[in-house]
Every structure is written in C-alpha cells, then in structure tokens.
Amino acid sequence: MPALLEGRGLTVRFGGLTALKSVDLAVGAGEVLSVIGPNGAGKTTLFNVITGRVRPTTGSVLLRGEAIERLAPFRIAQRGVVRTFQKTEVFGGLSLLDGVAAGALAHDDPDPGARAREALSTVGLQNKAELTALQLSYGDQRLLELAQALAAQPAVLLLDEPASGMNHQECTHIMRLIGELRARGLAIVLVEHNMHVVMNISDRVVVINYGEKIAEGRPEAVRADRRVIEAYLGVEQPAVDAGPR
C-alpha cells in the first residue's frame, strides 16, 4: 500500500533530552496504524511533529511525497492532516454545530453548516447539535472532538487516546467509528493505551520506547515481540518459591 503520510528519521531534541530518536513510520489510505509505548515514550511528540506544533531537529514528514515539516500547523491541517488531542479540546462556549463547523470554515466550504451536521451525524451527536460543548458528558466530548476533525475533511486523521476514560460501551462505539472511517479511505494514526482497542482495530502497530522505535508489525506479531513485552506490555513474574521449610 503506497504511503499517504511518512515520517523519515524523525528526531526531536529538547536541550539535552532526546524525545524522538530517528523514528520512521508510514501510513496509507484506508489503514489504521497504532503507536503504542509507555508514558513519556514520545508518542504525543510524534503527533506534534507531524502536525507542525514541534519542528523536528532532523528528519522529515512527507504527505503524498511532499515535505510538510516546516509548514505552520494550520497549513498542515488545510492539506489534510488533522488531529485530536490527549486532553479534550473543544470550543466550550459555542454550540456543537458552530464548533464543528470550524473545520469546514477553514476549508472555505460553501455550506459549513451542512458539513458540520454530517460530521455530528457520523459520530451520533446530531440530536445534541444546539447544546454547547460544555453541556456534554466526557464521552460525548471525545466524540465531538472526532466530529470537529472530520468536518475539516482530513485525508490523515491522528487520534490521541480517543478511548481514554471511556467505558466498555463507549470504547466499542469508538472502535466501530474508526472502522467506518478506515472503510471510507482515511489514513488513521492512533495513539492509545487501551490494548483491547489497539489489538482489535489496528492494521499495524508501532512501538516506541524512550523515543526510539523498538518494534513494528501486525498486532499479533507485536504482542508476541519479546522487547515489546519487556518494555511495555509487561512480563508475568513467576510465583516466588519460598523453598522448603
């Protein structure tokens, strides 16, 4: 599958700290790529580099083969790389309809209202369009974030822990939505700690530890990788043998 979005040799240093160390990744249209790793591994930094919020020290980000790592965040979004955030970001004081229309307005959509309704309908919030974002439950706010991103007509969607804090039913809904978006041909990069979600919807998984890619492959292969188990998934400790009395 040809890559829609590629990161090549991405390295980010903050003073003496190396947040990312020569990370490569690629995702194609209609593919879900999950990025997993312990807290502080560099997953959100990777998203920040791809979306232009942080410039890589070395390396490049290519969208359809064109370098975008020096562009401003709004230009990258206009070209089709749109993200959600780890901490929910919504237009709190505005109605859902007005907030979701933001992405459509950014693309000079002739009918931002219709685009916003369509996005709200996709995530199942169409009946709450006149409420303000702050009137929604946490789970609905996460769905609203997804609707905001969809109205911006992304080709590549970066989802930062979309299932975080959600119950089982909400996680299932999110997984179904991500599946639908993949079927529409979106390239999806997912950062997620919920292994049930990751293992069930990912086409490929990239594992990062201390800013370095330590594994990449299909979910079942990654799950069995010894380095991944040691670094992230954990090793089952044998029961301590107290020995003969």
Contact residues: other proteins, CB under 8 A: 51, 72-75, 77-78, 82-83, 85, 89-94, 98-99, 101-103, 105-108, 112, 148-149, 151-152
CA separation (Å) from 13 to 20, 38, 49, 58, 211?
Answer: 7, 19, 12, 9, 10
Q: Shortest gap between Cβ of 6 and other proteins (angstroms)? A: 20
> How many C-beta atoms lie closer than 10 Å to residue 101's C-beta?
25
- For other proteins, the closer CB: 93 or 165: 93
Task: Return all residues near 235 (Cβ < 8 A) that are at least 6 apart.
Answer: 229
Q: Shortest gap between Cβ of 148 and other proteins (angstroms)? A: 6
Locate 184 and state its tokens.
């529409």
Q: Shortest gap between Cβ of 99 and other proteins (angstroms)? A: 8
Locate 133 and state its tokens.
């974002």
- For other proteins, the closer CB: 18 or 95: 95
CA angle 197, 218, 216 (to 5 degrees): 100
Rg for the chain (alpha carbons), in Å? Answer: 19
Give the pairing type, strands 156-160 and 81-83: parallel
Q: Shortest gap between Cβ of 5 and other proteins (angstroms)? A: 16
Q: Shortest gap between Cβ of 70 and other proteins (angstroms)? A: 16
- For other proteins, the closer CB: 90 or 177: 90
Closest CA relative to residue 120, chosen from 141, 96, 153: 96
- For other proteins, the closer CB: 125 or 175: 125
- For other proteins, the closer CB: 26 or 144: 144
